[in-house]
Amino acid sequence: MSGEIAQAFAKAKARGEGVLVAYAMAGDPDLPRSVDVFAALVEGGADIVEIGVAFSDPIADGPVIQGASERALKAGSTLKRVLDEVVPEVRRRCPQTPLVIMTYVNVVMAMGEERFAKLARERGVSGAILPDLPPEESADLRATFDAAGLDLIPLCAPTTPPARAEAIARDARGFVYCVSVAGVTGMRAELPPDLSQRLDLVRRASPVPVVAGFGISTEEQARTLAAHADGVVVGSALVRAAHADGPQAAKALCANIKRGLKR
Amino acid sequence: MTTETTVGRFGRYGGRYVPETLVPALLELEEAYAKASADPSFGEEVARVLKEFVGRPTTLTPARRLTEAWGGAEVWLKREDLAHTGAHKINNTVGQVLLAKRMGKKRIIAETGAGQHGVATATACALFGLPCEVYMGALDVERQALNVFRMRALGAVVKPVESGSRTLKDAMNEAMRTWVSQVADTHYVIGSAAGPHPYPTIVRDFQSVIGKELRTQALAAFGKLPDAIIACVGGGSNAIGALHPFIGDKGVRLVGVEAGGHGLDSGQHGASLTLGTEGVLHGSRSLVLQDADGQIQEAHSISAGLDYPGVGPELAYLAKTGRMEVRTATDDEALAAFYEVARMEGILPALETSHAFARGRELARELGRGKHLVINCSGRGDKDVATISARGVPPPVGVKA
Ligand SMILES: Cc1ncc(COP(=O)(O)O)c(C=O)c1O
């Protein structure tokens, strides 16, 4: 286990807050300027930063993150360049904030699983989220990551039956990412009514913290979820804010959501 | 004979690389398919519809003039172009839509490239009374206007996909995204032997009717199994369907022909078995066209059905183990083959199918006289007339100018 992630949750808990995991796309609008976006997320109150690495065929993403992926690829983003040029800069500017890479399994396979784990860890990455790697396919990669000290953070879905959700939680590293809605990433006006129940169930089974993600964009949603989860992930809303109005807009939105997470 | 080394795996290939949201649906599908397969009444129903509605068995036609012109093995054609809707795709959609009905699904979604799978899905949905939505790359919507109309006429909703290369791979991305959000009541009919487990297995089984019929027909027509069978390879469904029943027959050469596009050195082709590297696309690990950073490259082929940067995992396994030989045909070679078959056999083959014909002559000669070569005629070319005629028509034969 990386340790940094557990620490970030412990610190937030001590302050009586839920954790804000804030996502942005590396390379959107280009590699150096995306560093400013990541730094702005932390200034706005993000406790953990998720660094999106673009993939040509993002099947788990809605239009906002698809658009960001296309811009990042056009700007020349690759996993190697993100690890070489973005991660070290974000580490330098935000040394206290754990970083998690979010990308698709093919991008990691292309670099080589071991090489990725080693390089990511060296650069100061704490974990990785791969939305197209379900439990059945993840055993080998988890072992590789464990050996390097990198957390493979699993996802749990609304369609996951309770026993399966419990098994996912038991094998989790870092935290469990509970997908709030059956669907792709993107803002939702309403979250499903049974979400809090599902969160409670996973939380009871999980040795690590549990966060809710997908569809979350407002302070109000964060406040509702804070009672049932250790934190929330916000992605599309931040990507859209940064793209439309720049890093300061993303920072303001983080601050806003963070208010909803204060107990 | 099976090439499935462990459940859902063909050697290193296959698996189920999809968002967790879809995994329970894939497990449900796997279980429902196992139950249906074990229930003789399901097999009987599929067979009945294939006979009464699709017109199976499709014939095995001797290609006498091509045999003579090529001067080698006797050439025979397995006529999937004669199946209802004009291609092999209907074998799979009838099976999958019947399975979806058994599972109590209320609606059907599908992706399509050339539009043949979309038409075949729309047809099965009309036949069995289920609503149907077909995702199709916006570029393909333009180049396959006839099939777009056919789908709409059959009552399906065609959803043009504007993302990425606006072709088959993007249509498949969008169909998967839609499925993730409607997974409870919707069945996704994947149109090739690709995608996450159990799709490659299900599609192969439904398409194997081609090879099973061929086996019986070959024995009846020339008293032995063919010496070689050729099929074109896009995602691989007509190829695996024609070839799979012969995997255990060592004497039968199995040949797949991929899209060579503008040529293998042009970077514009669909030759994922020939030039692809191991990767994950659309839910399975297979051979894919990608760059060194794992970004999937755009494929190119004159035929929309071969314009795909991936290939089904079982095909990748057959190619890597050497059981299937892999060749390629360029756009120009496919076009030339189209006219050759049209004028010598009275058949307008689909552009996809024309790729298989393009390698026919050399294979017939390699085999030599007295041998038997079967070409899987996967579909008819009506859908391609706009693309082909736009390049001009060669002068008629046998008429003095
Ligand atoms: C006539 C025909 N043949 C072949 C193909 C390629 O698909 P597959 O490789 O799955 O058979 C298509 C796809 O649209 C087709 O329409």
pLDDT tens for each residue of A193-208 = 999 999 999 999 999 9
Tell me the pLDDT tens digit for each residue of B85-141.
Answer: 999 999 999 999 999 999 999 999 999 998 999 999 999 999 999 999 999 999 999
Other Cβ atoms closer than 10 A to B342:
17
Average pLDDT over residues A121-128: 98
Round to whole Å and give the CA distance between B331 and B343: 19
CB contact under 8 A, A56 and B181: no
Q: Which residue of A has its CA nearest to B170?
A: A57
- What is the value of ipTM here, to two decimals? 0.96
Task: Look at residue A6 and give its three-state secondary structure.
Answer: helix
Tell me the pLDDT tens digit for each residue of B341-395.
Answer: 999 999 999 999 999 999 999 999 999 999 999 999 999 999 999 999 999 888 8
Tell me the pLDDT tens digit for each residue of B233-263.
Answer: 999 999 999 999 999 999 999 999 999 999 9
User: B350 in ligand 1 pocket by Cβ < 6 Å?
Assistant: yes
B378 is catalytic: yes
Strand duo B277-281 + B284-288: pairing: antiparallel
Q: How far is the CA of B129 from the centre of ligand 1 (A)?
A: 25
Look at residues B332, B264, B336, B342 and name the one whose alpha carbon lies nearest to residue B302: B332
Task: Look at residue A254 and give its three-state secondary structure.
Answer: helix
CB B157 within 8 A of CB B167: no
Round to whole Å and give the CA distance between B35 and B30: 9
B74 is catalytic: no
Average pLDDT over residues B43-64: 98
Round to whole Å and give the CA distance between B94 and A53: 40
Q: How far is the CA of B250 from the centre of ligand 1 (A)?
A: 26
Q: How far is the CA of B238 from the centre of ligand 1 (A)?
A: 6
Considering CB atoms only, which of B181, B293, B296 is closest to A57?
B296
Residues of A in contact with B281 (CB under 8 A): 57, 106
- Give the contacts of B294 (CB within 8 A, at least 6 positions apart): A55, A79, A106, A107, A108, A109, A110, A111, B279
* pLDDT band at residue A1 using 50, 70 and 90 as cut-offs: low
To the nearest whole number, what is the mean pLDDT of chain A?
97
Residues of A in contact with B180 (CB under 8 A): 59-60, 182-184
User: B352 in ligand 1 pocket by Cβ < 6 Å?
Assistant: yes
Tell me the pLDDT tens digit for each residue of B259-283.
Answer: 999 999 999 999 999 999 999 999 9
CB contact under 8 A, B293 and A60: no
Token code pair at residue B326 = 């892999």
Instruction: Reply yes or no on whether the pLDDT at B398 is more than 70.
Output: no
Instruction: Reply yes or no on whether the pLDDT at B400 is more than 70.
Output: no
Look up tokens 């300061």; give the residue. A248
CB A83 within 8 A of CB A123: yes
Task: Give the atom of ligand 1 at the shortest distance from the alpha carbon of B113.
Answer: 14
CB contact under 8 A, A110 and B21: no
Tell me the pLDDT tens digit for each residue of A164-191.
Answer: 999 999 999 999 999 999 999 998 999 9
User: B235 in ligand 1 pocket by Cβ < 6 Å?
Assistant: yes
B 316-375 near A (Cβ less than 8 A):
none
- CA dihedral A183→A187→A189→A195, nearest 10 degrees, is 50
Top residue of A55, A57, A111 to mutate, by most chain B CBs within 10 Å, is A57
pLDDT in the model for residue B399: 56
Instruction: Reply yes or no on whether the pLDDT at B401 is more than 90.
Output: no
CA distance A124 to chain B (A): 21
pLDDT in the model for residue A82: 98
- Residues of A in CB contact (< 8 Å) with B are 55-62, 66, 70, 73, 78-80, 104-111, 131-137, 154-161, 164, 168, 179, 181-184
Task: Look at residue A185 and give its three-state secondary structure.
Answer: coil
Looking at chain B, the whole-number percentage of residues with pLDDT higher than 70 is: 99
CB B338 within 8 A of CB B31: no
CB contact under 8 A, B19 and A158: no
User: B349 in ligand 1 pocket by Cβ < 6 Å?
Assistant: no
CA distance A238 to chain B (A): 21
* pLDDT band at residue A125 using 50, 70 and 90 as cut-offs: very high
Considering CB atoms only, which of A57, A109, A164 is closest to B173?
A57
CB-based burial, B380-400: b 16+ in 10 Å, e otherwise: bbebbeebbeeeeeeeeeeee
Considering CB atoms only, which of A106, A155, A184 is closest to B180?
A184
Q: Which residue of A has its CA nearest to B281?
A: A106
CA distance B187 to chain A (A): 15
User: B200 in ligand 1 pocket by Cβ < 6 Å?
Assistant: no
Other Cβ atoms closer than 10 A to A78:
24
- Give the contacts of B98 (CB within 8 A, at least 6 positions apart): B42, B45, B46, B49, B124, B128
pLDDT in the model for residue B5: 80
Other Cβ atoms closer than 10 A to B2:
10
CB contact under 8 A, A110 and B176: no
Is the Cβ of B171 closer than 8 Å to some Cβ of chain A?
Answer: no
* pLDDT band at residue A85 using 50, 70 and 90 as cut-offs: very high
Pocket test for ligand 1, best of B81, B88, B351 (most atoms within 8 A of CB): B88
Q: Which residue of B has its CA nearest to A71?
A: B164
N-to-C CA span, chain A: 28
CB contact under 8 A, A107 and B293: yes
Is the Cβ of B6 closer than 8 Å to some Cβ of chain A?
Answer: no
Instruction: Reply yes or no on whether the pLDDT at B396 is more than 90.
Output: no
Look at residues A73, A105, A136 and name the one whose alpha carbon lies nearest to residue B282: A105
CA distance B328 to chain A (A): 25
Instruction: Reply yes or no on whether the pLDDT at A39 is more than 70.
Output: yes
Other Cβ atoms closer than 10 A to A96:
11
pLDDT in the model for residue B3: 81
Average pLDDT over residues B287-307: 96
User: B233 in ligand 1 pocket by Cβ < 6 Å?
Assistant: yes
The more confidently predicted of residues B397 and B260 is B260
CA distance B182 to chain A (A): 7
* pLDDT band at residue B62 using 50, 70 and 90 as cut-offs: very high
